[in-house]
Amino acid sequence: MAKLIYVANVSLDGYIEDEHGRFDWTEPTDEVFTFITDLVRPVGTYLYGRRMYETMAVWETQPALAAQSELRADFANVWRAADKIVYSTTLHTVSTTNTRLDHRFDPEAVRDMKASAASDLTVGGPNLAAHAFNAGLVDECQLFVCPALVGEGKPAFPGDARAQLDLLEEHRFGNGVVNLRYRIQG
């Protein structure tokens, strides 16, 4: 069975973006970017909410971004190759290949996907992740904790989330970012 992994850049005080919707404090160094690319390389399907999908779609819709470096081109290729499912009640179409739009998050469908998938899945965006956490679907968290305090903003985890976590790995980067990989205790 494939795992569903929540991947997020998060401030030290637990936010994925500040109160103005900015996340510029998460800009990765080449070292972090290489690690993230290698982390998602084997992933077969990305599950996104609308805002996270719109943030990530630039890896296909803006070719100049991938043209900036071999590192960015590699990530763009990895991203484009994976399947993507976007959960949104407001989008009517999606603009990228290998992408399907669902208007409703169906926990049973995701459970079936995990059971039949040959590769792991990721869930991106805290609103969608909240649904996955509440349905007991998340198996692991891969958090990139940035050395920043933003005070207020969008929390990385739902306020009602309760889970016991086992630390599986940690990796420190030269810029102060720490990757923490946790397994959700079942």
* pLDDT value of position 84: 98
Give the C-alpha distances (Å, rounded to integers) separating 160 from 131, 138, 157: 11, 15, 8
Sequence-distant contacts of 108-113: CB under 8 A, at least 24 apart = 110/4, 110/47, 110/135, 110/137, 111/135, 111/137, 113/2, 113/45
pLDDT at 60 over 80: yes
For residue range 86-123, what is the model confidence (pLDDT) as tens digits? 999 999 999 999 999 999 999 999 999 999 999 999 99
Q: Which domains does the chain have, with CATH numbers?
A: 4-179 (3.40.430.10)
pLDDT of 144 = 98
HSE-CB at 87 with a 13 A cutoff on CA atoms is 20
- Whether the per-residue pLDDT at 81 is higher than 90: the answer is yes
**Residues 18/152, Cβ–Cβ less than 8 Å:** yes
pLDDT score, position 158 = 84
Mean pLDDT rounded to a whole number for the chain: 96
pLDDT level of residue 175 (50, 70, 90 thresholds): very high
Q: Is the pLDDT of residue 186 over 80?
A: no
pLDDT of residue 159: 83
User: Which residues contact residue 126 at a Cβ distance below 8 angstroms, ignoring those fewer than 6 apart?
Assistant: 8, 16, 154, 155, 156, 157, 158
Q: Is the pLDDT of residue 74 over 80?
A: yes
